[in-house]
Chain A
């Protein structure tokens, strides 16, 4: 099983009109493996959505990729021209379930007309009837009523719209599906249905992997294989789901986990902690380890001067914190 997508030392900055740079993604390396659900978690403004748009090639000014590469099949896709990206990659290799799926469908067109446009864009020889037929089969296979195709977006409920968007996103059988908080606007039961749909898509091999971006860590517990925790534009810890959820190592991951309510036995006696301080301003991120101003275990004198390297702490489990070594003493 290979990597479908590999990000190496990725840097993506927003440039403001005043000429300032907001370092939303700073030196991120990450791979998306075939067959996995990779969760990316972190608080608001940590750069997880920016990372999603870089991975999905939806970068538009004022966001700029200033360094690093994203490799798929050995080629750095960041260097591909716009037209090749549109024809070969978007929707076909990498697809996205957008954050605002509520408004992601053209309000004045029937769903089927958009589906025809998407399919015909990539298969120009396909007839309208074939396109509709294909969409109908896919909708039924994923137990969505095919009559949705005849509806206008305003006739669908929020949850139904989200599922429809998810199915349309995967019509072209993309290898990687990037889901950017697809459930944050939904009620709990709709959330569950959408997540079931995502898992089903993976099980049916329609898609080969999912990158699921969320600020709700407990959500990932049910279906993620690996989790990467992001803080202030960097990944601070990445590892198998069980390790991150039950035995997080990085002080930030620990605090993030203890700040959420998980209905587990013994949870009742636990205290819910808030993380002290506020997320840093990414215009001038803290020096050294970016978490050091808020870190309760901040001990080492060099935490504020040098960046902790990734240390392997278990099979497939990496953490970027001096508590686990990384500085020769």
Chain B
């Protein structure tokens, strides 16, 4: 007999492969809808020195050939797909001859080390705060809830700009931007780490406060709902103490929050775009932002491919994890109903 869980996994994975294919196709099409020819831009930049027009002509066709843009769209598309499977992300237009793989590889650690701690700590603190204020009620709840509402509703880039203006520009407490100071070589020295942390605080704060607020509101609502549920009352009526009941509530209220965590991880690179731009942080977000402005197709495709993989992986892991946490969903996964 075949294991129903394996069957479930196979079914899920096929759906994810289909979703990946659709997303990757969109990644190909969308950058090409940006008006303007990227090669003309590059050639025009070279033309500022007063180069002869036939030289420009030749430059143009060389680049078109080099980037494969002279071929019909469907050929480009199949080349693109083939290259993805070979994990060949191509060459950047704007940073020619920089490989997209290397550019992203250099930016990715910055984004991950900025986002993962912000998302995780925001999620943990937010959930604890939300659960506690639902349980506690009263003054604590009103203050925590109001603050959470304020922070979660400020667009995070606004908060970033306000922080940047007040704390960095106005009072000069923090650096205005960048991942580290000019003139410091990125090595694993103590000096570099201290400098990186100093640059890290503002972008981190601007994201973590928003994350705490959002998570706290969600968790508070879920906890309030669970706290008034029948099983809580029943457990109380049988003399089960509050501390134990809180554990039931916390676990059950947590379920939707785990989805929230996965979505945060999935959209981490995309979400980094604005924060990284505001603080000129050398991560994937900044890279994508400049790539879009320059119509740098391979670089845009590379970044969006990373985002696609991140979103799909996060969602897939959550779907599987859900089954382990909630027996009702496990029953569905195992085909019990």
User: A residues near B, CB below 8 A?
Assistant: 56, 58, 86-87, 89-92, 95-96, 98, 100-110, 114, 117-118, 121-122, 152, 154-155, 165, 168-169, 172
Contact = CB atoms under 8 A, between A and B. Distances in A.
B313 interface: no
A86 B241 contact: yes
Interface stretch (B29-37, B114-122, B228-236, B286-294): B228-236
Nearest to A92: B239
Contacts of A172: 238
Contacts of A118: 235, 238-240
Nearest to A122: B239
A152 B328 contact: yes
A114 B235 CA distance: 8
24 contacts: A58-B233, A87-B239, A90-B239, A91-B239, A95-B237, A98-B230, A102-B230, A103-B229, A103-B231, A104-B233, A105-B234, A106-B248, A107-B231, A107-B326, A108-B325, A108-B327, A109-B248, A117-B235, A121-B240, A121-B241, A122-B239, A152-B331, A154-B327, A165-B234
Nearest to B238: A91
Contacts of B238: 90-91, 95, 118, 121, 168-169, 172
A107 B252 contact: yes
A98 B241 contact: no
Contacts of B241: 86, 121
A121 B239 contact: yes
Interface of B: 229-231, 233-241, 244, 248, 251-252, 255, 325-328, 331
A58 B240 contact: no
Contacts of B229: 103
Most buried by A among B231, B234, B236: B234
B239 A86 contact: yes
A118 B328 CA distance: 23
Contacts, number: 80
Contacts of A110: 327
Given A108-B255, A121-B240, A152-B327, 10 more contacts: A91-B237, A96-B234, A100-B230, A102-B230, A107-B231, A108-B252, A117-B244, A121-B244, A152-B328, A155-B331
B34 to A, nearest CB: 48
B240 A117 contact: yes
A117 B238 CA distance: 10
Contact of A104 (B230, B251, B328): B230
Most buried by A among B233, B238, B255, B328: B238
A105 B231 contact: yes
Given A86-B239, A106-B248, A118-B238, A154 B230 contact: no
A310 B234 CA distance: 35
Contact of B231 (A56, A87, A92, A104): A104
Please give me the 6 A-B residue pairs with the lowest Cβ-Cβ distance, nearest first: A90-B239, A91-B238, A103-B230, A104-B234, A91-B239, A152-B327
A96 B331 CA distance: 30
A329 to B, nearest CB: 48
B252 A106 contact: yes
B230 A108 contact: no
A90 B236 CA distance: 8
Nearest to B325: A108
Nearest to B240: A121
A154 B328 contact: yes
B237 A98 contact: yes
A93 to B, nearest CB: 10
B231 A154 contact: no
A56 B327 contact: no
Most buried by B among A96, A103, A104, A118: A104
Most buried by A among B235, B236, B237, B327: B237
A108 B238 CA distance: 19
A152 B231 CA distance: 13
Nearest to B326: A108
A96 B231 contact: no
A99 to B, nearest CB: 8
Contacts of A91: 237-239
B183 to A, nearest CB: 55
Contacts of B255: 108
Nearest to A104: B234
Contacts of B251: 108
B239 A106 contact: no
Contacts of B325: 108
Nearest to B251: A108
A89 B325 CA distance: 34
A90 B238 CA distance: 5
Contacts of A165: 234
Nearest to A88: B239
A172 B327 CA distance: 28
Nearest to A151: B327
A122 B233 CA distance: 17
Contacts of A89: 239
Nearest to A98: B234
A90 B237 contact: yes
Most buried by A among B248, B326, B331: B248
A295 to B, nearest CB: 37
A173 B325 CA distance: 33
A95 to B, nearest CB: 7
